[in-house]
């Protein structure tokens, strides 16, 4: 009876070993006979933000993976539009043995709000992939932009040693700015109304290539995608604008004009203003890294009941992301 039990255990052991050997043979056959591999798993990670927390699955609304070979030539593209995504979700690729670069782009409504050029297999390179924001003939962008995320992982080796996990670090190329003109006097004597003002951000930041390089572009005008008349005991208005990357080597300006006369009430170097919000603890970050990590700004201009003019803007209090920044001349 004991001998019979041992015999069944031995047979079970032999069966398991055969199944394991078949699994290895299957992977080897996939690698060496078909010149393809067991799956390469790609995970996208967006923790390049001020929270240092991976927010990719919360921000991305579609996925485009571009594969380039060792010579830098385009191999293939994988597209996935099955959002919402799960945390640490992976995407499988089947690639022949070799070294690759994987470029990832996540931008909802690609082809409408964001445009991209077509690549030719075997000839196109990352520099040939043009990514740009759609704009009207007058170079204006008034639509709310969904997050545009970009990342690249180089020297990805496919060696036929089974499934591998490749993490592609992502950065965000979009920013949202909420501007508030608030009258803090009792009763809101300044009588600030939406119909009296125009708001815009000007910046030549709408074109990039697949290598993440900023390309020469026209000066774009970003106008509000949202506006509201504030309620409460004090008067005021709020508008929200977006823009692509805030770049330290570009001239990017915030302009507020009086609609009736066209007079510029405020024309400020936007980056000079926003960079003053960098905490002492973040001084280790370069200005560009700070601007790339931060993606939401709330700018409040606080008036004291006097009529809104160019002169009152010169002495207005400015709050950015909850911090008092300056109390005098903003026309820089």
Q: Tens of pLDDT along the chain (332 residues)?
A: 444 444 544 544 444 343 333 333 334 333 333 444 557 999 999 999 999 999 999 999 899 999 999 999 999 999 999 999 999 999 999 999 999 999 999 988 887 899 999 999 999 999 999 999 999 999 999 999 999 999 999 999 998 777 789 999 999 999 999 999 998 887 777 789 999 999 999 999 999 999 999 999 999 999 999 999 988 767 799 999 999 999 999 999 999 999 999 999 999 999 999 998 777 667 789 999 999 999 999 999 998 888 888 988 877 888 888 777 754 444 44
Q: What is the pLDDT of residues 212-250, one digit of tens each?
A: 999 999 999 999 999 999 887 677 999 999 999 999 999
Q: Does domain 40-172 have CATH number 2.30.130.40?
A: no
pLDDT of residue 60: 93
pLDDT of residue 21: 39
When the pLDDT of each residue in the chain is averaged and rounded to a whole number, the result is 85
> Which architecture characterizes domain 175-326 according to CATH?
Sandwich (2.60)
pLDDT of residue 318: 87
Domain edges within the chain? 1-34, 40-172, 175-326
Q: What is the pLDDT of residues 10-42, one digit of tens each?
A: 544 444 343 333 333 334 333 333 444 557 999
pLDDT of residue 326: 59
pLDDT of residue 1: 47
φ, ψ for residue 177, nearest 5 deg: -130, 120
pTM for this one?
Answer: 0.84
pLDDT of residue 159: 84
């Amino acid at each position: 009876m004991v001998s019979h039990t041992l015999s069944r255990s031995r047979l079970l052991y032999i069966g398991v070993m055969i199944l394991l050997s078949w699994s290895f043979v299957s992977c080897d056959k996939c690698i060496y006979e078909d010149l393809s591999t067991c799956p390469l798993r790609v995970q996208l990670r967006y923790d390049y933000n001020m929270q240092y927390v991976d927010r990719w699955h919360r921000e991305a609304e579609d996925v485009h993976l571009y594969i380039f070979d060792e010579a830098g030539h385009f191999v293939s593209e994988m597209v996935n539009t099955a959002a919402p995504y799960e945390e640490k979700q992976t995407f499988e690729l089947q690639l022949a043995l070799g070294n690759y670069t994987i470029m990832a782009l996540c931008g909802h409504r690609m082809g409408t709000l964001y445009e991209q050029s077509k690549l030719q297999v075997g000839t196109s390179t990352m520099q040939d992939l043009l990514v740009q924001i759609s704009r009207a003939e007058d170079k204006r962008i008034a639509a709310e932009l969904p997050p545009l995320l970009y990342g690249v992982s180089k020297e990805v080796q496919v060696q036929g040693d089974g499934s591998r996990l490749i993490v592609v670090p992502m950065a965000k190329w979009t920013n949202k700015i909420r501007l508030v003109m608030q009258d803090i006097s009792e009763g809101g004597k300044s009588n600030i109304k939406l119909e009296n003002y125009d708001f815009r951000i000007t910046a030549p930041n709408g074109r990039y290539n697949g290598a993440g390089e900023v390309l020469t572009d026209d000066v774009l005008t970003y106008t509000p995608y949202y506006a509201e008349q504030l309620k409460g005991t004090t008067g005021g208005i709020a508008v929200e604008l977006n823009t692509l990357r805030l770049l330290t080597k570009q001239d990017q300006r915030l302009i507020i004009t009086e609609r009736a006369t066209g007079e510029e009430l405020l024309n400020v170097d936007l980056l000079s203003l926003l960079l003053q919000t960098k905490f002492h603890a973040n001084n280790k970050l370069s200005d560009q890294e700070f601007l790339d990590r931060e993606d939401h700004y709330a700018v409040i201009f606080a008036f004291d009941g006097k009529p809104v003019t160019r002169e009152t803007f010169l002495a207005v209090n400015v709050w950015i992301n909850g911090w008092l920044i300056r109390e005098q001349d903003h026309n820089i």
